[in-house]
Amino acid sequence: MDKSHFPKCLRCGGAMVCDKFYGHHEQFWGWKCLICGEIVDPVILENRQLMRAGQEINVQRARVRR
Ligand SMILES: [Zn+2]
């Protein structure tokens, strides 16, 4: 993870910091908002990227059909 790049909170636009969280069976690193406490973990980020990729694929398929 690039330490020089800090994502902004999606809820309040505040600064987020990398923090360690504890899941059911494992520990993981995620992002926590300093202002409102919003937590973004790697699973959430991965799901968003998958959804985004799926939308791009659908768009490409739609263009091919035309
Ligand atoms: Zn926030």
Has residue 1 been placed in a domain? no
Supply the pLDDT for residue 9: 92
Is residue 8 within 8 Å of residue 17, measured between CB atoms?
no
Task: Give a yes or no: residue 52 inside a domain.
Answer: yes
Under a CB-based contact definition with an 8 Å cutoff, are residues 49 and 63 in contact?
A: no
* Cα-to-centroid distance, 51 and ligand 1 (Å): 22
SS (H, E, C) 11-51: CCCCEEEEEEEECCCCEEEEEEECCCCCEECHHHHHHHHHH
Write down the residue that tokens 């990398």 correspond to: 18
pLDDT at 35: 96
Residue 2: inside a domain: no
**Does the reported pTM lie above 0.85?**
no
In terms of residue numbers, what domain contains 43?
16-65
In a domain, 7, yes or no: no
- Between the CA of 35 and the centroid of ligand 1 the distance, in Å, is 5
> Is the residue at 32 inside a domain?
yes
- Centre of ligand 1 to C-alpha 42, Å, is 17
Residue whose token pair is 């398929």: 61
Number of domains in the chain: 1
Considering the domain boundaries, does residue 36 fall inside one?
yes
Question: Ligand 1: distance of its center to the CA of 50 in Å?
Answer: 23
| Residues 19-62 pLDDT 10s | 888 878 888 888 999 999 998 887 777 787 787 777 766 666 66
pLDDT for the residue numbered 21: 83
